A and B are shown apart, each in its own frame.
Chain A
Amino acid sequence: MCEINEDFHDRLECVQDVEGGLKKCVKCKEANASVVIKGGDAHCRACFKENFTHKFRATLGKNRVIFPGEKVLLAVSGGPSSCSMLRQVQEGLSQNAHKKLRFLPGIVYIDEGGAVFRSSEERQKTVAQLQAIFKATGYPFHIVPLEQVLDLPSSTILTAPSASQPAHTGAYKTAVDQFIQHEISSSAAREVQEETDVYESQEPHTQALQKLIGSAKTLTAKQDLVNTLRQHVLVHTARSKGYSKVMLGDSCTRLAVKLLSNISTGRGAHLAQDTGFSDTRHGDVILVRPMRDYSAKEIAYYNHVFAVPSVFIPGLDTKNADKASIHRLTESFVNKLQADFPSTVSTIYRTSEKLQTVCGSSSTADPCDRCLLCVCALDTADDGVSALQATLTSEKLSKFRGNTRPGMPVLISGELRQSAPTVRDCRSGEGENCGQAQVGGSCCSSDMKPEKTDLKSTLCYSCQLIVKDLSSVECLPQYILSEAMRRQRRSLMRKEITFAPVSNVGQEKTLVTVPGSELWAVDQTSH
């Protein structure tokens, strides 16, 4: 398999042998070498290119998730890595028969300009530049402003049943053979009448988006929020245009940073989905990361030598200090470490290879078990002793308690247990005055309006941190809020059912007549 070559780029330019003469390429042994790859292997331009393109094909071939004839959406941000990915797809589709990639590509660009307060002139300029690049490929493309999140349907954040794809071994090969047969018989005269569309954002939408981003009090939360929303638009675009795969341009360097910043923001449970080759959390649309074997510098070199165009687009953290956000901080940490210890990125990357996701992709699982924002399986189950429980304990203990002191422990079968339960404070109220012991689930919060604490039960640990940093959840797009309400109603119903006599189970309809005022107090006891 192709290795990631972390340390070649520092000795790129001219390669000389010990005597000072020009070194020959180790592969073709003819041309003069101009690139040194790990371990001192020097390659000429042509062989470097050959290796680079081979790696892309090999990554796809090894993972076997993209089927011939499948519609694949390439998410291009304008950055070097995703633009290089676009070039690799072009190269792959134009190869001769046995090496040829056989899927139907389309391109999507999600314009986040609104979220970072760019003027509409600037945004149009960027879009025009990208359009030129996209048109040159001849592939259908979709330019979608992030403002579209304001019109997304709630189904966006539900895991859909995965497309009935042949899963057994050999199926991939059969599919390839069938496709080649078909292609020969139709003599490649495939007629692709696909739309290319450019959505424009409207001013009120932009303002609503800006209000939402502005409601996040920290840059970390702003970045996480934008990433989450972008993902939603991406999945929605893929679904509505009939793409079953989305290719993301994350490089190995980018993923190493992402892995560390995800660990730092409590996303450990989702690392495999967030940084692995394929991400199946959405069920019907699978995200893949074919650039994960390339380092950022390797890509930069390729783009430079082979004139791959890219567009610089300022993001949320451009111009910000290193310590402005967790993502920014992690990026500078990894870069500094990489400079001192050249194997840093590749080691972190290998760590990610060995991780897996607990939840898997089972689409039959209850949507209530998945996070409202990131659509990953919830990692907030109360399993006794955990960081999450420790935090809840700390919050509980630092809040107003008056003069109550917990009871003394007794020994139950040789193990220490507390005799009297400590006073259970109402955790729903953020206000200092709501610290009264909770009796039978009713306290000052039962007639509260939707607030962030109510969203909590529908979010994973890390997404709870995002919402904690929002000044108000009311700015969140409607599809998120209405799905949150739906889930809360359901969980209330389920609770009613468990309290109801056995004979009533199954007659859910009769149980829906729950006074609306209690809807928001629903999970006070369970989180």
Chain B
Amino acid sequence: MPVQCSCCGEKRAMLKRPKTGHSVCKDCFFWAFEEEVHETIVSAKLFRHGERVGIAASGGKDSTVLAHVMKVLNERYGYGLELMLLSVDEGITGYRDDSLETVKRNQQQYELPLKIVSYEELYGWTMDAIVKQVGLKNNCTFCGVFRRQALDRGAIMLKVDKICTGHNADDVAETVLMNVLRGDVARLRRCTAISTASEGEAVVPRCKPLKYAYEKEIVLYAYFKKLDYFSTECIYSPNAYRGHARTFIKDLESVRASSIVDIIHSGENLSVREGVKMPVQGTCNRCGYISSQALCKACVLLEGLNRGLPRLGISKHHRLHGKILARQPLTEKEERKLRSENS
């Protein structure tokens, strides 16, 4: 017997909402999903009228749904935002080139301007070339650090006031757990924030309008809306530790459906003991990007790549920052040490 939509009471229910367990029809699901994002945007005051907003678009389901919903809400509620897509090309053959095709189709479907910034043009290195030098063990460190900066650089080129990213509730919950598992209290405190203010001149404020949207619902939304997205995992990806955390969250969700939002609630209510040292943010002496060290992480990583010593940026070598800044060569001993860590 067909179940009636618990929301409108008229149409046939097509799905059971993972978030609430209610059986709803397609239209009511779309409406509720969009309204929830709208509610988040309004109550967190994420945007101001007339702002230029860059949507970080990877071609994946999160950013595709984000772009779609932002466009819908911007029109429905007259946010008055000037939306544009911002993509980063890491230079990964067979992954990013394909997903960028998706972004380009999205650009036409949504009629939004698109800007693509590439690692190659920004850093002179593609991820393919980086992996060739560093192997598959630490490549995610490079990719993560470079992407963060690349988005900012692209945003500055586009002159946007804000960047919004497709981070969903599952991502936020996962980050909370990862920071507990890594003992990173500074990040633990920041990671549940829905938006980050501008930190220094090099950084564009960011926000996560999908912060409370379940990944499962994002998939359902994309599926029922027949959105065009790219669904292959990054070929260089899996970080074993993060993979464990991800599986754990999926398992938790199967035991108690609200676990994801429960973890976010925990994260939002944590407080850090006074006297626990928090890194002081300054700016990178070389590129001006925010950094708690003399050199930002991206510059150190890049220096390592260019000197053929990729370990330079991976383990902590703050002592060597002075030499890098002064463009001095390392001693034989220092080089040997870095190389031996490689094995």
State the A residues within 8 Å of B (CB).
Answer: 218, 220, 259-260, 262-269, 271-272, 323-326, 329-330, 333, 336-337, 340-341, 344, 347-348, 350-351, 353-358, 379, 384-391, 393-395, 397-403, 406, 408-409, 411, 414-418, 422, 432, 461-462, 465
Contacts and interface: CB of A to CB of B under 8 A. Distances in A.
Interface residues of B, number: 66
B22 A398 contact: yes
Contacts of A351: 179-180, 183, 185, 188
Contact of A268 (B22, B194, B255, B267): B267
B271 A355 contact: yes
B9 A260 contact: no
B255 A408 contact: no
7 contacts: A341-B241, A384-B44, A389-B43, A394-B36, A398-B28, A400-B7, A416-B47
Contacts of B285: none
Given A390-B261, A416-B79, A400 B177 contact: no
Contacts of A408: 77-78
**Highest count of chain A CB atoms <10 Å: which of B41, B265, B273:** B265
B258 interface: yes
Given A323-B255, A358-B269, A398-B6, A348 B181 contact: yes
A465 B79 CA distance: 36
Give the 7 A-B residue pairs with the shortest CB-CB distance, closest first: A268-B266, A390-B212, A269-B269, A266-B262, A398-B22, A387-B265, A385-B44
A325 B35 CA distance: 33
A269 B22 contact: no
**Highest count of chain B CB atoms <10 Å: which of A337, A348, A355, A416:** A416
A341 B239 CA distance: 13
Given A355-B272, A356-B271, A397 B48 contact: no
Contacts of A340: 240, 244
Interface stretch (B109-117, B246-254, B301-309): B246-254
A402 B9 CA distance: 7
Contacts of B258: 391, 465
Nearest to A462: B262
B251 A329 contact: yes
Contacts of B319: none
Contact of A416 (B35, B45, B182, B269): B45
A403 B28 CA distance: 11
A394 B179 CA distance: 27
Given A411-B49, A416-B47, A388 B265 contact: yes
A273 to B, nearest CB: 12
Nearest to B184: A351
B270 interface: yes
A326 B266 CA distance: 15
A221 to B, nearest CB: 9
B262 A264 contact: yes
Interface string B1-25: 0000011110000000101101010
B256 interface: yes
A266 B272 CA distance: 17
Contacts of B128: none
Interface in B209-259: 211-212, 240-241, 244, 248, 251-252, 254-256, 258-259
A263 B176 contact: yes
A494 B188 CA distance: 38
B49 A416 contact: yes
Contact of A399 (B6, B36, B248, B262): B6
Given A350-B183, A393-B36, A416-B42, A387 B261 contact: yes
A324 B254 CA distance: 10
Interface string B60-82: 00000000000000000111100
Contacts of B41: 416
B32 interface: yes
A263 B263 contact: yes
Given A394-B19, A397-B32, A397-B35, A268 B268 contact: yes
B35 A326 contact: no
B42 A418 contact: yes
Contacts of A397: 7, 31-32, 35-36
B168 to A, nearest CB: 12
B271 A385 contact: no
A259 B248 CA distance: 15
B151 interface: no
Given A218-B256, A329-B251, A387-B261, 12 more contacts: A263-B267, A268-B270, A326-B259, A329-B248, A329-B255, A354-B272, A385-B43, A386-B268, A393-B36, A397-B31, A416-B77, A465-B256
A341 B6 CA distance: 47
A461 B180 contact: no
A358 B273 CA distance: 9
A356 B274 contact: yes
B101 interface: no
Nearest to B79: A416
B177 A260 contact: yes
Contacts of A267: 266
Contact of A402 (B8, B47, B177, B274): B8
Contacts of B274: 356
B291 interface: no
A408 B32 CA distance: 16
A394 B188 contact: no
B40 interface: yes
Interface in B165-214: 176-177, 179-183, 185, 188, 194, 211-212
B15 to A, nearest CB: 11
A451 B273 CA distance: 38
Nearest to B262: A266
B39 interface: yes
A337 B240 CA distance: 10
A387 B269 CA distance: 10
A341 B43 CA distance: 41
**Highest count of chain B CB atoms <10 Å: which of A336, A341, A388, A390:** A390
Interface in B55-103: 77-80
A400 B9 contact: yes
B163 interface: no
Contacts of A411: 49, 80
Given A354-B272, A408-B77, A416-B45, A387 B177 contact: no
Interface in B265-303: 265-274, 276
B264 interface: yes
A398 B49 contact: no
Contacts of A414: 48-49
A401 B42 contact: no
A340 B42 CA distance: 44
Given A264-B259, A399-B7, A400-B9, A409 B42 contact: yes
A333 B244 contact: yes
Contact of B212 (A259, A387, A406, A417): A387
Contacts of B182: 347
Contacts of A325: 255
